A and B are shown apart, each in its own frame.
Chain A
């Protein structure tokens, strides 16, 4: 497991210049604009993409076949990818949030609690994105995986719109304004629930990935 983490770290370091560039862009966005939420989300999602990209690197030139002759199991491999995604994603998210707080405080624009609240909504979103991306990438590999992923996100967007509109039409409930008007206390409960739901989704996604990998032939 540790060997795999070292390998992925080395692979991600191949793109360190790109990663630094993204970081610079994020800092630039924070300084130049008053919107902190977008750069925080941006950095978290790019970091997630980075961990997913290591799967493509492993796949390059049929490298997976050799990888699985090393002293690791297919389960180790899947668990390592999920741990890496969560670890790297959270580090990026914390980094972005801290940067956001620093810039907000120095510019004195928005109450810090509002920023932290928005930032906390991004965390479960990032986890859900990883939960969707990883099984697709493991199942279809680099190129086909990307297409499948776009399809999946499209489907997800359509489903969410249908739910919001459906709730509006059938039950006459406006979900979005309901969310906006949640009192702060229940906002905390709401966030806790979304994070738990997101983690559960990640767990289900990992189960699916485990069964995908165990069926694969190299």
Chain B
């Protein structure tokens, strides 16, 4: 569906070197802090910025050869950009109709009504939640094969976020081939939706794992200095000094449960894994 190989982009105080792959029918998440390189990656995929090296292939085609017709297969949400705030939903409908040959007008109107998006109000007057829903609605209403969503859930309350994720699930259900690349700096948004996750930090991918594995096999070991000294560290990915001793990140929870029954082992949430991957020291 989408393949990025050593995508490079240099700015004065930031450089990106990112590789990732999105399989057909999958939802892949890209998690990272603000400024980690998520938006830069997305903009490079979409051809909005020039790149300094690497290859990007979308739907089997190099982005340099991507045509207007190919772009119809993409649905895009950008965190900091959308339709002009001066337009209304009723203005957007004819625009989309003339842009996309497969625009589903009835679906669009039905969903807009379902989420109570006003047809006759300028978008700049919308609430954050309404703006976010409209952006996703525009992305899913023209039968795209691949959605590229940069922080679609940013700034949303729990209810609005769930509604938005529900829209994405319904989109996926309609066709097995449909895929989504989605980014967020809040991992719990992605936990329930993504098949696999990439973690990006300082422009580099520092971890790639299936969400199931991340939730089942990753754990935090909380040990004092003595326990830490005796610990078999072959499955410890990162460790960090704490007031009580050390916290250690492992991707082999079962091994430590069986061999160190006295150690406190906590199921790692994705946020904790991220924090450890970034703050902890490598073994």
Contact = CB atoms under 8 A, between A and B. Distances in A.
Contacts of B68: 71-73, 76
Interface string B81-94: 11111110001001
Interface string A88-105: 000000000000000000
B154 interface: no
Contacts of B80: 61-62, 65
Contact of A6 (B76, B86, B98): B98
A63 B98 contact: no
Interface in A55-98: 57-58, 60-66, 68-73, 76
Q: Which 4 A-B pairs have the closest CB atoms?
A: A3-B99, A3-B98, A65-B81, A69-B76
Which range holds the interface residue count of chain A?
Answer: 20 to 34
B147 to A, nearest CB: 11
A9 B159 CA distance: 36
Interface residues of B, number: 31
B46 interface: yes
Nearest to A217: B49
Interface in A1-59: 2-3, 6-7, 10-11, 14, 57-58
A66 B98 contact: no
A70 B48 contact: no
A69 B78 contact: yes
B84 A63 contact: yes
Interface of B: 43, 46-50, 68-69, 71-72, 74, 76, 78, 80-87, 91, 94-100, 124, 148
A71 B78 contact: no
A11 B99 contact: no
Contacts of B97: 3
Interface in A177-218: 217-218
Contacts of B87: 7, 10-11
